[in-house]
Amino acid sequence: MSKKTLSTNKPQNLAKIFGTDGVRGRAGSFLTPAFCIELGIAAGLYFRDLAKQKHIRSSNKILLGKDTRRSGYMIENALVSALTSVGYDVIQVGPMPTPAIAFLTADMRCDAGIMISASHNPFDDNGIKFFDRFGNKLDEKAEAQIEKIYHNKQLLAQNHKVGQEIGSSKRIDDVIGRYIVHIKNSFPKELSLQGLRIVLDCANGAAYKVAPTIFHELGADVVVINNTPNGFNINEQCGAMHPQDLANEVLKYRADIGFALDGDADRLVVVDNMGKIINGDILLGALGEYLHTIGELESNTIIATQMSNLALEEFFAKHNITLQRCDVGDKYVFDAMKQYGSNFGGEQSGHIIFSDYSTTGDGLMSAIAVMALVLRKKTSSHQALNPFTLYPQKLINLKVLEKTPLESISGFSELCKQIEKSGMRTLIRYSGTEPILRILVEGKSAEAIESTSKELESFLRSKLA
């Protein structure tokens, strides 16, 4: 076989590597140095071959960022070794938000971008996310191609460069300024945060430097918490996954608003000036209606996932806004936005996409948009960010031993049909990144939701846990 051949003729049904959001697992166990090297080589070969297929002149550069997990050093060095071994020059930018890597990949004209992060997961997990030259997350077809190359060990071994063809690596520390300017450019020039007090929870994660800088430069009085990462405290009882401390700090400092980011800063949780944690669907509703009001919502359409509350759909309908639903995952939201010609969409979890500025969920851009909304409404964040009430909804995360296909579980479909006949909505799916089954039940009666969710949990626990 020629060294330049990327034929991946291998047995089918090979182990799947990618989940809902890149590759994710326990660092040092699933994500070993050897695994990361082979995956990095596979990705490098894929991106080089993609440029040839599309007749695009390659820059021969790949951007590499990470969050603040200790294991990021191990994975970063493995990926640098892998990519340089197939001839790529690697630009290392250190701890930066995931959306910053997406933006910088396109801005710096790289062939691809890679982010080392497990997002909201505990510190001992880690992950690898890939972006194409335009800053888009890879679709399932592209991920499948990388998996095929990864499983072809002979192909990996045959494509190492030698001599002057081996790539180089360089660490650049000043690209943070490009991203700061990018975020600030999304904020209306006539507005200022002067006189506003904002509490900012950085989750001891990737935005611990960039987030406070942005809000300081826009004039806010910023109270920063959880911005001292040590490699092990990312997401630990803080950030978007644990916003109660932020709520307490907002009340303590009598702040106008509070923002909590997750480990890689691609999602946002908001706390209003009354200390109320704003539900993700409520936030989508407030922002969507705001964009519609100021005439900046394209196609009069907003994208949300199957997880979003029915009350959100009804709220938009009252404002003559169409809600289209898609699968869970911000890359699916972005794909649907392109399909329906929309420039706004997001997930209940806090991933929000403003496609006029970003290709992926961006917690800082979302926070800036929230501030523009509050300022233009000339009211408190509590009044501005609570435009409707949600229907009762219960979400249960059930740990499972293995992800047995739900349709193969005896009695499962019959139980779901019975629940839906009673007027409730269910959405039951496996997490793409963890051994968890997510059980969502929604309806107009809190009592019925509670009893039904317990019935479903008990049934599925007996089958899977």
119 catalytically annotated: yes
**CB atoms closer than 10 angstroms to residue 461:** 15
Q: Sheet holding 322-326: strands in order across? A: 322-326, 301-305, 344-346, 352-354
Question: What are the CB-based long-range contacts (under 8 Å, 24+) for 156-159?
Answer: 156/38, 156/41, 156/42, 156/45, 158/1, 158/3, 159/3, 159/4, 159/41, 159/45, 159/86
312: phi then psi, degrees, rounded to nearest 5: -65, -45
C-alpha distances (whole Å) from 200 to each of 51, 209, 236, 242 are 41, 12, 16, 13
Please identify which of the residues 71, 85, 119, 169 carries the catalytic annotation: 119
Question: Which uninterrupted H or E stretch holds 63?
Answer: strand 61-66
Question: Which residues touch 210 (CB under 8 Å, ≥6 apart)?
Answer: 96, 97, 100, 176, 179, 180, 265, 364
Give residue 88's identity as a one-letter amino acid code: Y
CA 179 to chain centre: 17
Tokens standing for residue 85 = 């071994």
Tokens standing for residue 317 = 């309908």
Tokens standing for residue 311 = 């009350």
**CB atoms closer than 10 angstroms to residue 36:** 24
Q: Sheet holding 436-442: strands in order across? A: 393-399, 436-442, 425-430
Question: Which uninterrupted H or E stretch holds 423?
Answer: none
Tokens standing for residue 40 = 């990095």
- Listing DSSP states for 85-128 in one string gives HTT-EEEEEEE--HHHHHHHHHHTT-SEEEEE--TTS-TTEEEE
Find out whether 459 and 448 touch, Cβ atoms under 8 Å: no
Helix spans in 10-70 (H) = 33-53
Find out whether 314 and 389 touch, Cβ atoms under 8 Å: no
CA dist., res. 152 & res. 38, Å (int): 10
Tokens standing for residue 350 = 């806090």
Alpha-carbon torsion, ordered 368, 373, 376, 377, to 10 deg: -150
Catalytic residues: 119
